[in-house]
Amino acid sequence: MIGEEVQVRLREIVSRYPSARSAMLPCLHLVQEEQGYITPEGIIAVAEAIGAKPDEVESVVTFYSMYTEEPKGRCVIKVCTSIACYLRGCDDVLAHLEQRLGIRKGETSSDGRFTLEAAECLAACGMAPAMQVNGRFFENVTTESADTLVDYLVSAGDTAALTSAWQPVSDGRGMATVSRLDAANPAVEAVEAADTADTTAQQNGAHER
């Protein structure tokens, strides 16, 4: 069911573009964000908003892997398995997450909380291995930092808490970490401690050279 509020936001998005059809992708993003996935009603709502046929919108939805017509977990974890991440150990990270979450890639946990996916290149090759959690990037991921993130995801309670309190921190190296907004969380402290130790080790190594 696409509510009036979403309809208004769709019209607002369309108004920003010289051609209504150019707003198709952001409109689909909005619908997916609101519904968790793109339903037939969502496709019709977007088609009406941009003046296209539902078939045209559906063809775009099925073309891009960033859209889904299937319900997924509240927390979608995507691990890049393309070449740069493969060479930097993404298989270990993915296998570790499968074991930790008790699901195989492509599956959703029975409580509807986690979906684990293998993804094609996430365009973060310079910081491989990379993964995304609900669209947020985590880079230079190890089995240990992936574990810490899962600890945090479990303790955070629900997706709303995650999206509002959880931000990636840019330290110039794209280290997988979370923001100090929730620094009281032990998992966050663990990530930050590991990050600090790693940075110190790198600095010491640089000085020794």
- 173 exposed, middle or buried (CB, 10 Å; 0-12, 13-18, 19+)? middle
188 binds ligand FES (CB under 6 A): no
* CA angle centred on 96, ends 92 and 98, rounded to 5°: 120
83 binds ligand FES (CB under 6 A): yes
Radius of gyration for the alpha carbons in the chain, expressed in angstroms and rounded: 19
Is residue 122 close enough to count as binding ligand FES by CB under 6 A?
yes
Cα 191 from Cα 144, distance rounded (Å): 9
Among 57, 85, 116, 149, binds ligand FES (CB under 6 A): 85
- The verdict on 24 binding ligand FES (CB under 6 A) reads no
Least distance in angstroms from the C-beta of 108 to ligand FES? 23
Asked if 176 touches ligand FES (CB under 6 A), the answer is no
**For residues 93 and 156, which CB has a smaller minimum distance to ligand FES in the complex?**
93
Q: Are strands 114-119 and 131-133 parallel, antiparallel or unpaired?
A: unpaired
The span of 24-32, 117-125, 174-182, 192-200 binding ligand FES (CB under 6 A) equals: 117-125
- Of the candidate residues 47, 50, 52, 80, the single one contacting ligand FES (CB under 6 A): 80
Smallest gap from residue 60 Cβ to ligand FES (A): 23
Amino acid residing at 77: I
How far the first Cα of the chain sits from its last, in Å, is 62
CB of 36 to ligand FES, least distance (A): 25
Examine residue 38 and tell whether it contacts ligand FES (CB under 6 A).
Answer: no
Distance CA 64, CA 81 (A): 17
